[in-house]
Amino acid sequence: MIRPRSALFALSLLLAPAAAQAAEVNLYTTREPGLLRPLTERFTAETGIQVNTVFVQGGLAERLAAEGSRSRADVAMVVDVGNLMELVDRDLAQPVRSGVLEGAIPANLRDPQGRWFALSTRARAIYASRERIPEAEAAKLTYEDLTDPRFKGRVCIRSGQHPYNTALFSHLIIEHGEPWLRDYLTKLKANLARRAAGGDREVARDIMAGICDVGVANTYYAGLMLSGRGGDEQKRWGEAVRVVLPANETAVNLTGAVVTRHAPNRAEAQRLLEFMVSPEAQTVYANANFENPVRPGTPTNPIVEGFGSLAPRDVSMPEVAARRTAVSRIVDEVGFDR
């Protein structure tokens, strides 16, 4: 006969491995794991929960859909509001009710039903040559100004189909409508100094080289370059441009996350998201990635602070995502990338 105390001890041995295994969370992310490591390591140190990070360069929604109920993913973290909304639209996220998340994230940067949460915002700025664009002129620039005849052959930008630009153009189509955007993109293409291609850092590079005088790029790329993390050459690229947050309000995109529909470690997943919006984590995130914290009162990195006050356009982020199909069609219709 097994005595009661012995039975309890045996039961604890059986349950111990399961309990230990439960102290983990599986993070699927389109962000480079190195960018998240400072945060995941702090989370583990604070909570004892191990973060297993899986880097998915593309097709995250497709992977989760294919895995279905067999998926080990607990949290899916993505860049770009369109990618975030795709997870929700394809029923790959589950609602989370958390006073911590709701108290830390402004209402316009989270789903009313708790299916998605922004973790940071990223501003789409104008880069202007310090050498050839006077400071007073640069300070007044707007996205609309880039189609002005004075910038003929002086504008650089990456592909119009890149998510960073489809999000920007979605902001503009919400404000001005489809016919206006078609005319805008036609005129912007006519002002390009080179084909719409490359990346945001190459915009700064080509401005320094004199290929163009103005361009469109995210603020955090300037932060990365100016910090020296990209090396001395890229630091010179960053120093060659003035980062302008458009005077008629800046278009922002976001990085965000969901708790996946079939999360095997749901409680740990929620705890990870709550940690991500804590004052400590938001500060680390801002300094590691040069993005803008979503938690009010959290300071941005000093380099980013030097770009000026960010006044985001007052638009619905889901609506920005919803307009991307129309934007993509118009980009192709005007042959913007050709």
Number of H helices, E strands in the chain: 16, 10
246 lies in the same domain as 260: no
pLDDT tens digits for 32-52? 878 788 899 999 999 999 999
pLDDT tens digits for 260-298? 999 999 999 999 999 999 999 999 889 988 999 999 999
pLDDT tens digits for 117-132? 999 999 999 999 999 9
Number of domains, the chain? 2
SS3 271: helix
140 lies in the same domain as 157: yes
Give the structural domain span for 48. Answer: 4-121+252-300
Does 1 score more than 70 pLDDT? no
246 lies in the same domain as 203: yes
- Chain centroid to CA 176: how far? 24
Residue with tokens 């006519």, as numbered in its chain: 190
244 lies in the same domain as 292: no
Got the DSSP string for 213-254? SEEEEEHHHHHHHHTTTT-HHHHHHHHTEEEE--TT-BEEEE
10 lies in the same domain as 46: yes
269 lies in the same domain as 314: no
Any domain includes 338: no
Any domain includes 23: yes
113 lies in the same domain as 169: no
- Chain centroid to CA 70: how far? 28
Residues 225 and 222: their CA atoms lie apart, in Å, by 5
Any domain includes 99: yes
207 lies in the same domain as 326: yes
Q: For residue 190, what is the domain's CATH number?
A: 3.40.190.10
pLDDT tens digits for 140-165? 999 999 999 999 999 999 999 999 99
Give the pLDDT confidence score for residue 41 in this predicted structure: 94
Got the DSSP string for 29-78? ESS-HHHHHHHHHHHHHHH-PEEEEEE--S-HHHHHHHHGGG---SEEEE
Residue 127: enclosing H or E segment and its boundaries?
A: strand 117-129
> pTM of the full predicted structure?
0.89
Q: Positive or negative, the Cα torsion across 154, 158, 159, 162?
A: negative
64 lies in the same domain as 45: yes
225 lies in the same domain as 272: no
Scored b (16 or more CB within 10 A) or e, 273-294 reads bbbbbbeebbbbbbbebbbbbb
75 lies in the same domain as 224: no
315 lies in the same domain as 186: yes
Express as a percent the part of the chain with pLDDT over 90: 88
At residue 123, φ and ψ (nearest 5 deg) are -90, 135
* Residues in CB range of 131: below 8 A, 6 or more apart: 240
Residue with tokens 């004052």, as numbered in its chain: 279
Any domain includes 97: yes
Any domain includes 305: no
Give the pLDDT confidence score for residue 21 in this predicted structure: 52
